[in-house]
Amino acid sequence: MCGIVGYTGNRNAITVLLDGLKALEYRGYDSAGIAYRTCNRIEVVKASGKIVNLEKKLNPNMHSNVGIGHTRWATHGKPNEVNSHPHRMGKFTIVHNGIIENYEVLKKLLVKSGYKFKTETDSEVIAGLLDKLYSEKNDVLKVIVELKKLLIGSYALGIICDDIPDKIYAVRKDSPLIIGVNDDESFIASDVPAILKYTNKYIILNDNEIAEIGRSVNVYNDNLDIVNKEVLTFEGNLEVAEKNGYEHFMLKEIHEQPEVIKNTTAPFLKFGLESLTENMPDFSKYDKIDIIGCGSAYHAGLVGKCLIEKYGNIPVNAFVASEYRYQKIFADEKTLVILISQSGETADTLACLRKVHDMGINTLAIVNVVGSSLAREADKVIYIKAGPEISVATTKAYLAQITILSLMALNIGYNKKLISESKALEIIDSYEKLPNFISEMIDKDYKDIAKSLYDKDNCFYIGRGIDYALSMEGSLKLKEISYIVSCAYAAGELKHGTISLIEDGTNVIAIVTDKNIADKTIGNIKEVKSRGAVISLITTEQIDDNFDVDYKVVMPTLNDFISPMVCAIPLQLISYETAKLRGCDIDKPKNLAKSVTVE
């Protein structure tokens, strides 16, 4: 996620901006830049890569009292120096965090008015629009009110206007922004860590509010009436601030998921079924799909297999990348190979991409990190827009991956006329409600299940069909962060061997969300229960029945397209709470790395 910082006051703004950007490094970034006023001019300095690269380009003798800075995490356009912020057009220089969904339309309008664009970003249009509106209105606050009417999407903005020497302007919608306050100086930032070296007093800018920031701060509503704001005091240290008050990055990332899903789905839902089709590859030319990934990305592929086969009526196989790269591959020009990876740098997945490329097979990468190797080398790429994931165990990236695969199943089924238009629109509508269902599941309490589990040596997950695919991810999450030996089984397989391990007190987590095969799994639950197993059941309101289990998590009854994302939440939080009770290093489990770039 991009990071924003801004300063106006008596200190050297360049030093304050660099300190702020360094404190925001934990958010992840691929380039950085600052703009500062000096000798009545605005200087913009940018560099790709780490902040030290930016530091090297700055003149150490330069002094400034006003500036804005940015760390970029690419969403539109390559992660390079040109695309990095700040962006400048006419009299305006801006930094932006968020996504402008209608930037292409706005860009066309500005090009017609004679504006020339240098970057591939969605953000550059904001500087152009501000300049154009200012040439008509000549009042920055009124211009920002007009700007807000034109932008669709999310934004936190830091703005400098050439004509107003000592002020920064800020506005936000669905992207975080705070204003740091101190005697005779003010700051803006995406997050408290960026200002903590200088002040712990801050104001939260709410959606749609506009701030005029000089030595003092004024916040306005849309009518440009002053809004009275409370000045808050941050009591924690830098580490607490980086985690936004959460005890671990994993918990923070779990809580980010409702917002992530809005970003992931936004381009596909913008204009209903039209944008769904526009943003997906043309699947009509394929009669088979292979999905490749490692760990959780492979598990996401298994969820995709269930949905795409059921609703798209096309054979799908999911493979572990480290196996696929060495096995005989049955694929031709009618096969699409989909490679899933959060980092886009996983060695085995990348090797599979190169292998199938050499065979002339079409590839599609589903990736989080923009400009990563997989994204660059695949024929097509879909970005999941989950933002940087810091916890080693993936949560929000996995959720965004299965969301893309579910949208893909809908797209294929609808275009093959297997799903009617009215049904497809109903499903589209359900994705809009998905963030709320996810929030509801996050708010539930999983501590009792964790207490039943944390002192055990092993645990089994069971499910059928898509519930089995979800079980595999739940089981991986538990073992990797709590170190409890955990296995996932297709529920019907138990009695072919594994049931011999079930004894008094053995923990079994059963997932039963698919109504069509619920009775079969319930039968398997009864078999293990009668042998003494402690059962934690994850099920839906529709299936919830009076059979005997020890713990129950009941989720709403939802359509097949959004149900898996809601079901993933209890699995994440059961693992988290269990690992916490065991005192594990949750964000950095032993022996694991976030990006596995070796075979």
Contacts with ligand F6R, residue ranges (CB under 6 A): 294-297, 341-343, 346, 349, 393-394, 476, 480, 595-596
Q: Which is nearer to ligand F6R, 51 or 340 (CB)?
A: 340
Q: How far is the CB of 578 from ligand F6R (least distance, A)?
A: 15
Phi and psi angles of residue 504, each rounded to the nearest 5 degrees, phi first? -55, 120
Which residue lies nearer to ligand F6R by CB, 477 or 529? Answer: 477
Query: Phi and psi dihedrals of 110, rounded to 5?
Result: -70, -40
Cα Rg of the chain (Å, integer): 25
**Pick 270 or 582: Cβ nearer ligand F6R:** 582
Using left for φ > 0, alpha for ψ between -120 and 50, and beta otherwise, residue 160 falls in beta
User: Residue 281 Cβ, how far from ligand F6R at the closest point, in Å?
Assistant: 20
Conformation bin of residue 193: beta by default, left when phi > 0, alpha when psi is -120 to 50: alpha
Of the two residues 22 and 255, which places its CB atom closer to ligand F6R in the complex? 255
Is residue 210 a contact partner of residue 144, using CB atoms and an 8 Å limit?
A: yes
Residue 346 beta carbon to ligand F6R: minimum distance, rounded to whole angstroms: 3
We find the least distance from the C-beta atom of residue 291 to ligand F6R, in angstroms, to be: 13
Check: CB of residue 553 under 8 Å from CB of residue 440.
Answer: no
Catalytic residues, by residue number, are: 2, 594
Which long-range contacts link 323-326 to residues 24+ away (Cβ below 8 Å)? 324/290, 324/292, 324/352, 325/351, 325/352, 325/355
Q: Which is nearer to ligand F6R, 480 or 514 (CB)?
A: 480
Quote the CA–CA distance of 80 and 49 in Å, as a whole number.
8
**Closer residue to ligand F6R in complex, CB, 20/293:** 293
Q: How does strand 335-341 pair with strand 362-367?
A: parallel
What order of strands is seen across the sheet that includes strand 335-341?
316-320, 288-293, 335-341, 362-367, 380-383
Q: Shortest CA distance to 283 belongs to which of 424, 376, 410?
A: 410
Q: What is the smallest separation between the CB atom of 256 and ligand F6R, expressed in angstroms?
A: 16
The DSSP element (H or E) to which 144 belongs, if any, is helix 140-150
CA-CA distance, 443 to 240, in Å (whole number)?
Answer: 21
- Amino acid at the residue 416: K
Query: Residue 519 has what DSSP assignment?
Result: H
Q: How many CB atoms lie within 10 A of CB 454?
A: 18
**C-beta closer to ligand F6R: residue 472 or 518:** 472
Cα distances (Å, whole numbers) of residue 538 to 307, 565, 574: 20, 13, 11
- Beta carbons within 8 Å of 423's beta carbon, 6+ residues apart: none
Tell me how far apart the alpha carbons of residues 402 and 384 are, in angstroms, rounded to a whole number. 10
In whole angstroms, the minimum distance from the beta carbon of 339 to ligand F6R comes to 9
Q: Of the two residues 289 and 399, which places its CB atom closer to ligand F6R in the complex?
A: 399
How far apart are alpha carbons 363 and 331 in whole angstroms? 11
From the CB of 543, what's the least distance to ligand F6R, in Å?
28
Name the residue with the smallest CB distance to ligand F6R.
295
DSSP code for 168: E
- Residue 88 or 477: which CB sits closer to ligand F6R? 477
| Nearest-approach distance from CB 203 to ligand F6R, in angstroms | 37
Shortest gap between Cβ of 473 and ligand F6R (angstroms)?
8
